[in-house]
């Protein structure tokens, strides 16, 4: 039965020309079904049932866990795993015989003429399925709706003025739905709906479950939100609040970092959709159109094995000795954050300034080392936050620093894992 919400989303996704000329995924993965059933039943020439196939997990996210750069000599694209990506670490939680397929966008823009070759290479070498969003759609989807609408709202910033948080723009919402449809279509090209598990990540893809559930009613689908989920008083200000809630509820399981985020989500479902939920034996279940959606608290942990392996590297030990020598007899405060208005870098600097003002005896003894990860967005808020951070740091260093002492040190470059681990170990 086609729901009204699905029909509305489909109309939005097809409302522009964004979906035209989207390349298909090369067919080097095992052929999958497009109708319910078992492949061997359809072929009639295979004795192997789908239940005997290798277990597969399809991880869907806005960005693939890959690094990309052009080879200077050949001009061809070269790819490698992004070892810092949390999506890459997810594989360690699966059994060794589990096949993992990643679906998502690249961090670089690929020319249309190169997309087929790049898609084939990523599929062959990394088991990754890229989604090539048109440039204009990418801007409206990510920099527009995701970063101007959802990201501030989920961090309790309402668009109370034109300078902070933009007003709701339905064209950006249409782009968001269209992008989610493209991601869903890519999943449909490689999925075996009776056997595969699909794991969707973060606020960029909150209506994707609707498209998958409509196409494959029995699909095993999980969603994890990496950001906060706001209280109902804040969330209700979003004009498309119901559509997003219904999109998430097409998952089988929804995971949150903390109980508060889950509680806010359940409160929104109750107040806006009139849904009831109950807790049994530690499991929170929410009934929606005859299905039970499980809500789980799944805080992201630290991969101790990987951290220990990096700490034991000779390069890490060498860098640690260098840092200890440079900041000998000083108390080191370390910050590692994205350059984002919600990460509190500027507030951290102001706290150091107040500390040095109130405790003059600490001047020359305390150093704040702030490692700034590359910003994920490029909007005006990011530039303003960066400008303000550098201004405050300069003011503190001018007032409390000297020729051989800087109270605030900003490291604004790519910091390799061994160097970052050395700072952690100081």
Q: How confident is the model at residue 47 (pLDDT cuts 50, 70, 90)?
A: very low
User: Does residue 425 or residue 23 have the better pLDDT?
Assistant: 425
User: What whole-number percentage of the chain has pLDDT above 90?
Assistant: 69
Structure tokens at 179: 């992008």
Query: Could you tell me whether strands 283-288 and 291-297 are parallel, antiparallel, or unpaired per DSSP bridges?
Result: antiparallel
The arithmetic mean of pLDDT across residues 150-166, rounded, is: 76
Angle 265-385-423 from CA coordinates, rounded to 5°: 85
Q: Is the dihedral of CA 78, 82, 87, 92 positive or negative?
A: positive
Position of tokens 């999109």?
Answer: 247
**Range among 5-19, 122-136, 158-172 with highest mean pLDDT value:** 122-136
Mean pLDDT across 286-293: 92
The band of 382, judged by pLDDT with boundaries at 50, 70 and 90, is confident
Same fold, 4-297 and 305-425: yes
| CATH number 3.40.50.2000 given to 305-425 | yes
**Residues 251-256: what's their mean pLDDT?**
97
What is the reported pLDDT for 16? 61
> Chain-wide mean pLDDT for the chain?
87
Q: Identify the residue with better confidence: 158 or 41.
A: 158
Question: Which helix H or strand E contains 295, and what residues bound it?
Answer: strand 291-297
Can you give the length of the chain in residues? 426
How do residues 188-221 score in pLDDT, each as one tens digit? 999 999 999 999 999 999 999 999 999 999 999 9
CA distance 395 to 398: 5
The architecture CATH gives domain 4-297: 3-Layer(aba) Sandwich (3.40)
Residue with the two structure tokens 């606020």 = 203
Domains of the chain, residue spans: 4-297, 305-425
- In this structure, of 10-24, 161-175, 200-214, 387-401, the range with the lowest mean pLDDT score is 10-24
Give the residue-averaged pLDDT of 150-158.
92
Which pLDDT score is estimated for 3? 58
Cα 171 from Cα 180, distance rounded (Å)? 14
């Amino acid at each position: 039965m086609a729901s009204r919400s699905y029909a509305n989303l489909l109309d939005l996704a097809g409302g522009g020309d964004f979906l035209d000329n989207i390349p298909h995924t090369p067919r080097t993965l095992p052929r999958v079904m497009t109708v319910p059933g078992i492949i061997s039943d359809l072929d009639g020439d295979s004795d192997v049932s789908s239940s005997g196939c290798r277990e597969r997990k399809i991880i869907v996210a806005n960005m693939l866990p890959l690094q990309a750069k052009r080879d200077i000599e050949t001009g061809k694209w070269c790819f490698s795993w992004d070892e810092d990506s949390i999506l890459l670490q997810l594989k360690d939680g699966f059994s060794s015989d589990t096949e993992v397929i990643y679906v998502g966008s690249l961090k670089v823009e690929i020319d249309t003429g190169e997309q087929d070759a790049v898609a084939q290479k990523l599929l062959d070498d990394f088991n990754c399925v890229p989604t090539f969003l048109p440039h204009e759609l990418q801007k409206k989807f990510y920099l527009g709706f995701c970063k101007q609408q959802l990201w501030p709202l989920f961090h309790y910033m309402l668009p109370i003025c034109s300078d902070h948080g933009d007003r709701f723009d339905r064209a950006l919402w249409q782009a968001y739905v269209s992008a989610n449809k493209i991601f869903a279509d890519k999943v449909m090209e490689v999925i075996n709906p009776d056997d595969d598990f699909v794991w969707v990540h973060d606020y960029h893809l909150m209506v994707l479950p609707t498209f998958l559930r409509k196409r494959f009613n029995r699909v095993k689908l999980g969603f994890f939100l990496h950001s906060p989920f706001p209280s109902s008083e804040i969330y209700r200000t979003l004009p498309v609040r119901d559509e997003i809630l219904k999109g998430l509820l097409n998952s089988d399981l929804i995971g949150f970092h903390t109980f508060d985020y889950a509680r806010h989500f359940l409160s929104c479902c109750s107040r806006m959709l009139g849904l009831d939920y109950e807790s049994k034996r530690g499991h929170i279940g929410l009934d929606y159109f005859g299905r039970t959606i499980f809500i789980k608290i799944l805080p992201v942990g630290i991969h101790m094995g990987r951290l220990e392996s990096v700490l034991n590297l000779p390069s890490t030990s060498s860098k640690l000795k260098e840092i200890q020598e440079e900041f000998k007899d000083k108390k080191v405060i370390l910050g590692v954050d994205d350059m984002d208005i919600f990460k509190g870098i500027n507030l951290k600097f102001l706290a150091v300034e107040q500390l040095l003002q109130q405790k003059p005896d600490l001047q020359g003894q305390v150093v704040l080392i702030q490692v700034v990860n590359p910003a994920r967005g490029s909007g005006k808020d990011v530039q303003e936050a960066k400008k303000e951070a550098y201004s405050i740091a300069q003011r503190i260093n001018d007032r409390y620093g000297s020729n051989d002492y800087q109270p605030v040190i900003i490291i604004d470059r790519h910091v390799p894992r061994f160097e970052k681990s050395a700072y952690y170990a100081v």
